[in-house]
Structure 1
Amino acid sequence: MGWIDQTMADLYKAVRAAPGADAATLESSQRAWLAKRDHCLIDSYRGRYAELSSAYDQKHLTGTYGNARGVLDSVLFPDGNLLVNISTDVGAPSYDSCSVTFRAPLEGEAVQHVFTPEEIGADGQCTVDLKITGSQIDVTPKDCRVFCGNSASFDGAYKKQ
């Protein structure tokens, strides 16, 4: 996709620099287009994850789960490890957001990941426990404030979408 991205960047810069260009309107429309493009790209990846894992993911754990505060994506790998990405930053980035990604072994209906101080760039540990029940994943973090801003958290029940 290198040439296509480069062409878009070059065209955007040229149009913005053209006489009479409305930079504010152009910037706003470019941001909207980028958000739409990124949403389509993410959905495309999510679909492909499900296709690739369908042969061994008997419980259909690969997918997108959500709650009022955010989104949890999970991908089951053939070796039994579950990759989890949780983000409460579903709109514009803010100080009240969380983002955490890890890969850990699925043990029955549970996953536990312990982040080391090196992984989180801070003293102490952060532990994330997942309990999977049907089409819901319950997330319980302990000492994981390093991933969140202000009053945000990524704990709670996420239902499959």
Structure 2
Amino acid sequence: MTNKILIFPEDAVEILYQILKENGLEQSRLEIITKIKEGKPFWGQIVSMLMRKFVEQQITQEQFIESLVKELPINKQKAKKIFQELNTRILNRVQEKEETQIAQDQEETKSQSSFSGANSDNTQKQAPSATNAVSAPKNTSKDLYREPIE
């Protein structure tokens, strides 16, 4: 039995905070830090946990919306709107992959990057030797803070 892994879009965090901001739920960094120090979840964290549970089918759409109303200072109508935006812009783009498939994808990525790093004729360029290196221009102005060496 292989485990399934959920892959959220790379821009999911930015979209999440944009949706929260558009719905009047933006928190400042200071507010977020204060929540973390108090051991309480901040709004973005609450919504991201709900999204994960929804995608893993641990909660239904109605439970998601009810949790938003309970955890955030919003009414049910705004919670439905937020859910619809999250569903359209993030949740519909989540991919589900098997662990073995992810390992294969990583292997392919590694082999492609090592292949693209080599020249077409399989030769590597030599770094210029130290004798060929260009020396830095010498400073000809007098340094007032330096004592002369005698």
Q: What interval of TM-score do these two structures reach, taking the shorter chain for normalisation?
A: under 0.3
Greater RCO (Cα-Cα under 8 Å, separation 6 or more): 2
TM-score (norm 1): 0.24
Give the structure with the higher percent helix. 2
TM-score (norm 2): 0.25
Tell which structure's C-alpha radius of gyration is larger: 2
Give the structure with the higher percent strand. 1
